[in-house]
Amino acid sequence: MSPIKHYVDGKAWEGTSTATQPVLNPSTGQEQAEVLLASKDDVDAVIASAEKAQPGWAAQNPQKRVRVIMEWIRLIHKNMDELAETLSLQHGKTFEDAKGDVQRGVDVLEFCLGAPHQLKGEYSTGVGRGIDTYSLRQPLGVVAGITPFNFPAMIPLWKAGPALASGNAFVLKPSERDPSVPVRLAELFLEAGGPEGVFNVVHGGKDAVDAILDSDTIRAVGFVGSTPIAQYIYTRCAETGKRAQCFGGAKNHAIVLPDADIDATADALVGAAFGSAGERCMALSVVVPVGQETADRLREALKERIPSLKVGHSLDPEADYGPLVTQDAKDRVERLIGEGVDAGADLVCDGRELDMSSAEFKGDSLAEGFFSGPSFFDHVTPDMSIYTEEIFGPVLAMVRAETLEEAISYPNDHVYGNGVAIFTQQGGAARDFATAINVGMVGINVPIPVPIAYHTFGGWKASGFGDLNQHGPDAFRFYTKTKTVTSRWPDDSSTGPQFTMPVMN
């Protein structure tokens, strides 16, 4: 079994470390590959490669860089099925969901085709006698992305696209759980005409992360993962003078008003809560119906739909969702379900009862796969761990509220502030909700309010650390620095030395 290697200077690279980690197929629980884990010296070598390549890439005008990205997009589409299948087999999300993972990354690459416009500076003439002032947007140099297992195509492309379009070199440290797709994306960038060394991929754990954070060459770090690690990286970047864009955990709420279409709302909740086995930072994991009648109607609609969901192999076209990424992830989800029961919540649908002992797909046994059935709690209260913690699994919790004000208080008071949704037919209520809610991304009758690529993505409170968000115009601001030039060409009217603060007049 050939190990998955790093990708440096346009080719596979083993590095000096012989440490490895198994890459599992979550549907079967079996090892399908192993990935090399870099040492600090390996990471330093990867960064040095990027530093050497970056000036030549930055010297190309933005339009030429965009032509490479345009071809990169074409090649990603050409290889979409291969990328999606690899992603499915290493992560566990279904094939169609994996294609969506890739496409949402491509959406940001398409926005990056506007880089020549995004990178334009400003010019003011005649700000003083014979004086002009103008600004330049210049790349930072070498930047890094540390990306999560749950979106091994989308998040790397969200980071790499704007960074590369801006003229930076990009070092990617993807999750070691599903590392093949990030490597393939780097290969396709080179095939599209990108220079060697401009997009490097290095695998590893905490040692690799710390090597990136300690590097004097890396000027910015983009991270997506858990809140404790986001805080750790944000703090370390502040200590070493790096820009940081760190996104952490979430506990996304859906508020349902009495006038909402209950059937349509229940359909939206089931897809948003259980899609990708709940392993999305934008998964709706808490629903807050307003009024007991609304709650009772919604409970019955969900109770009718949830047991019919099919859980299966990630490549099974009939599966609604696949396995969790590891056995540890499954154990954690089921531990939290048990805590919810012990705390007195009403477990309407118990996903722990899912029996895959005799399940097969194309001759492969699924008995050892990391499957968890869909679980649904009612009468959850804010002091329960199933409410306070990000479960990151197929679990939906219902918290009942008597008024809209009470319902709004739940997401507003929660430590996380990533996404929220409201289901209603009242335009005024929805408009007021969008203003009053203390959460970064808001959906109005939209269950997963991920902004389109030309707007920015980012959570508030413990869900996001840093001043600028992912993709959209913020990404170009994050990956560039602004230089302001004030110029005057000499003439014969010198008045001699000036010792007061200059004033333009």
Collapsing DSSP states into helix, strand and coil, what is residue 443?
Answer: strand
Residue 418 is classified by DSSP as S
| Axis-axis angle for helices 80-91, 62-78 (nearest 10) | 70
**In whole angstroms, what is the distance from residue 147 CA to residue 156 CA?**
6
Give the torsion sign (CA, 438, 444, 449, 454).
negative
**In whole angstroms, what is the distance from residue 318 CA to residue 304 CA?**
19
Give the torsion sign (CA, 198, 204, 209, 215).
negative
DSSP H helices, 275-384, are: 292-305, 327-342
Q: Which two tokens stand for residue 171?
A: 């070092």
The widest CA-to-CA distance across the chain, in whole angstroms, is 92
Written as one string, the DSSP assignment of 87-156 is HHHHH---HHHHHHHHHHHHHHHHHHTTHHHHT---EEEEEETTEEEEEEEEE-SEEEEE--SS-TTHHH
**In whole angstroms, what is the distance from residue 131 CA to residue 115 CA?**
29
* Residues belonging to the active site: 281
**In whole angstroms, what is the distance from residue 478 CA to residue 220 CA?**
8
